[in-house]
Amino acid sequence: MKKIIIVRHGQTNANVEGRTQGHIDTPLNDLGLLQAKKTGEFIKTNFSISESWSSDLIRTQTTAKNIFKNYKTTNLIREMSFGDWENNLFKDIAKKSPELVKEYENATDEFKAPDGESFGDLFDRAKEFIKYLDFNSEKEVLIVSHGGFMRVLLTSLLNLPKENLLNFHFENCSITEILVNKNKSHTSKYKESERKISSNIGLIIKRVNYTDHLNN
């Protein structure tokens, strides 16, 4: 694999309203559809995608279809489940549960929305998904996912401390590009029984949260 291209889904009305989505299925709005088309045009022009993964939710699948039609879906790369918080305005949640929201914003190990997932759950899902990525292949791989999960995925891929997920932010239909360098030392944190990045492979971030293509 020469490159890993990670794209956040296009805009939804819930994004505009500040509504928590999580696992609920929300479609792209008109702007989101336009963003997905522009992202597809940019990626088709600048990359040679031969493998694609999408979260199984509608907003990611619609985005993926505009980029590379032959994609596989998995619930491993869904957004965090917010349980009882889903489909609620975040500002209302913050009024009702200020301490729990503070834990969420600081990505603490203790955070878990009522009947939802923890950040530990997301890291477990990221670890399972990474097993599907062949770092010795020359394929350019597309991953279409969600902002929250992408923060965890990048932290996991780069073997950063978990708290570093707070250093990442992704706009709708932003592009994040990771290069696979087979001559650079890279230490894996995954067990021998799991697919891991070999010691002679390093991952290099070429761009994060790139959105210039959306302004054309």
Exposure of 175 in the CB half-sphere (CA atoms within 13 A): 26
* Residue 94 located in a structural domain: no
Q: Residues near 105 by Cβ (< 8 Å), separated by ≥ 6?
A: none
Per-residue confidence band for 190, with pLDDT thresholds at 50, 70 and 90 = very low
* Residue 87 located in a structural domain: no
- What is the residue range of 198's domain? 3-80+119-215
> Phi and psi (nearest 5°) for 100?
-70, -35
* Residue 192 located in a structural domain: yes
* Residue 76 located in a structural domain: yes
DSSP string, 147-182: HHHHHHHHHHHTT--GGGGGG----TT-EEEEEEET
* Residue 110 located in a structural domain: no
* Residue 161 located in a structural domain: yes
What CATH number should be reported for the domain holding residue 183? 3.40.50.1240
* Residue 89 located in a structural domain: no
pLDDT in tens, 6-41: 999 999 999 999 999 999 999 999 999 999 999 999
**17 versus 202: which is more confidently predicted?**
17
pLDDT in tens, 65-97: 999 999 999 999 999 999 999 999 999 999 999
> What pLDDT sits at residue 181?
83
User: Are 123 and 152 spatial neighbours (Cβ–Cβ below 8 Å)?
Assistant: yes
| Number of domains comprising the chain | 1
* Residue 97 located in a structural domain: no
User: Are 7 and 142 spatial neighbours (Cβ–Cβ below 8 Å)?
Assistant: yes
The neighbour count for residue 122, using CB atoms within 10 Å, is: 26
